[in-house]
């Protein structure tokens, strides 16, 4: 999945917490969130807050779907509340390859070769 397709997919699935998300979908959208945050930071605190609030729900949704891809509950995002360790664990999980077979969250993501 490429950058634009990832952004399109994440906004299309804005509040969809079911299913699975590939590593590329998650990481491209994460990059998009970081870029938007930097732009918002440069434009001022009110714009930054609007951008953060606008991207919060789709980010939480794609993170939940990414955790589903490796067979974990989306609620495990709450582990990020543990300072430093929680963020490291989420990064490792997000970088882990998804299960190749169907799990309780659905069938594996089939990506088209470009």
Report angle CA 56, 99, 20 to the nearest 5 degrees: 30
Mean pLDDT of 102-111: 86
Range of the domain at 88: 3-95
In a domain, 106, yes or no: no
Kindly report the CA angle at 72 between 71 and 76, in degrees rounded to 5? 165
Question: What is the distance between the alpha carbons of residues 40 and 51, in angstroms, rounded to a whole number?
Answer: 7
The reply to whether 100 falls in a domain is no
Count of domains forming the chain: 1
Contact between 2 and 8 (Cβ < 8 Å): no
Per the domain annotation, does 112 fall within a domain?
A: no
Residue 113 pLDDT:
61
In a domain, residue 72? The reply is yes
* pLDDT, tens digit, 9 for 90 and up, residues 43-86: 999 999 999 999 999 999 999 999 999 999 999 999 999 999 99
Look at residue 66 and tell me if it is in a domain.
yes
Look up the pTM and report it. 0.90
Residue 29 has pLDDT above 70, yes or no: yes
Q: Give the Cα separation of 95 and 17 in Å (integer).
A: 19
Average pLDDT over residues 20-26: 94
């Amino acid at each position: 999945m490429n950058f634009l397709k990832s952004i399109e997919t994440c906004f299309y699935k804005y509040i969809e917490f079911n299913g699975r998300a590939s590593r590329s979908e998650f990481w491209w959208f994460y990059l998009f969130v970081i870029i938007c945050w930097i732009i918002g930071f440069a434009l001022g605190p009110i714009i930054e807050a609007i951008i953060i609030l606008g991207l919060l729900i789709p980010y939480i949704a794609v993170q939940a779907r990414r955790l589903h891809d490796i067979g974990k509950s989306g609620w495990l995002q709450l582990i990020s509340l543990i300072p430093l360790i929680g963020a490291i664990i989420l990064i490792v999980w997000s970088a882990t390859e998804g299960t190749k077979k169907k799990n309780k969250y659905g069938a594996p993501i089939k990506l088209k070769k470009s």
